[in-house]
Structure 1
Amino acid sequence: MSFYGEMYNSTHEDYEDFQDQESRYRYGHCDERTLMFLGETCWSIFNTSMSYVEVEDWCNLEVVVRSYNSLTECMETASALSSCYYPNRVVEQLFVRIHRKFFSSCNNEEDLADAPAGVVLLATLLPIVLIPFIVYIVVWKSSLKD
């Protein structure tokens, strides 16, 4: 776990009250200017981290998960230091910016190609044809018992 996570990570799964941010921090008025400044620092750290990753590996979760987790922890810390709840509008904007830059070309549609039309037709018609046959067998079996 990074330095940020050890000190301020309010969503760490080992804490039973990870959703109760108020138990750990005193929140007043959210200082968005400070949060934006600290968020830019988090952005810079993440940007540097991603510069060591080949572009073709940006969509590989196993390669980027550590950097992404560090970014999340950094933004949690920045939010806490700025007296802001996490997540918030500023954090959301930063993550949208990061996703546009690094992950917009990631596409999982190749993994889930559409099934051929014949398979879809068979999977649809087979139960429709089997239901009357099964009903007939049940009725026939019950008439034999009478």
Structure 2
Amino acid sequence: WIKCRTFSQNTWILFLVLAQTFLIVCNESLMLEKLPRCGKSFEEMMKKVDSKKWCNLTEFIPYYDNFSLCTEQEASAARCFWPNRLAQGFITGIHKQFFSNCTSEKVHWEDPPDEILITLILIPVLLMVAMISLVVWCSKRSDILV
């Protein structure tokens, strides 16, 4: 009976220890205190890039990668998941600061002229009709295949 009781107490203690390690409490104030360091570092790196090239991802991708890793590490150090709403809010602020004038140019597709469109539709249709006719004709003339 003593062994069972000891086992049960040990099990309970083990459970509590494991529960504490799995219980992650995000320290949001610490994360919000540390994230601006990432923004400051990104801002310093972006000063090296001409502001006219801020919309060209290839010009600053290494800096943005460092910024992203920094925010992830700071969130992790504060025992917070990443991304989370606070980190996303901070990242969105950085995006507004640097990339608010970047717009994607949408290509407006137009149909080709009617003559070309009709030709592009009729060619495959006529080819299918020709192939079906050829198969039917060959199946009726099975004597030439033997």
Instruction: Tell me whether the two structures share a fold, i.e. TM-score over 0.5.
Output: yes
Query: Taking CA–CA contacts closer than 8 Å with sequence separation of 6 or more, which of the two structures ends up with the larger relative contact order?
Result: 1
Q: Aligned-pair distance for 1:40?
A: 1.1
Measure, in 2, the Cα distance between the counterparts of 1:27 and 1:67: 34
Question: Larger radius of gyration, structure 1 or 2?
Answer: 2
Q: 1:71 to 1:128 in 2, by over 3 A?
A: same
TM-score, with length taken from structure 1 = 0.69
Q: Aligned-pair distance for 1:51?
A: 2.0
Match of 1:18 in 2: none
Secondary structure in 1 matching 2:107: coil
Q: Is 100-109 or 81-90 further displaced after alignment?
A: 100-109
Work out which of the residue numbers 64, 67, 72 in structure 2 matches 1:68. Answer: 64
Measure, in 1, the Cα distance between the counterparts of 2:116 and 2:24: 58
Match of 2:123 in 1: 130
State the superposition RMSD in angstroms.
Answer: 2.4
Q: 1:76 to 1:116 in 2, by over 3 A?
A: same
Q: Which runs of 5+ in 2 are unaligned?
A: 1-20, 141-146
Q: Choose between structure 1 and 2: higher helix proportion.
A: 2
Q: Percent identity?
A: 21
Secondary structure in 2 matching 1:118: coil
Q: Given that residues 35 and 82 in structure 1 are in contact (C-alpha distance below 8 angstroms), is that contact kept between their aligned partners in structure 2?
A: yes
Measure, in 2, the Cα distance between the counterparts of 1:79 and 1:123: 57
TM-score, with length taken from structure 2 = 0.69
Q: Aligned-pair distance for 1:123?
A: 7.2
Q: Aligned-pair distance for 1:39?
A: 0.7
Secondary structure in 1 matching 2:25: coil
Measure, in 2, the Cα distance between the counterparts of 1:122 and 1:86: 55
Work out which of the residue numbers 104, 112, 115 in structure 2 matches 1:118. Answer: 112
Match of 1:33 in 2: 29
Q: Which runs of 5+ in 1 are unaligned?
A: 1-24
Q: Aligned-pair distance for 1:126?
A: 4.4
Secondary structure in 1 matching 2:83: coil
Measure, in 1, the Cα distance between the counterparts of 2:81 and 2:44: 26
Taking the TM superposition and a 5 Å limit, the aligned residue runs for 1:34-113 are: 34-109=30-105, 113=107
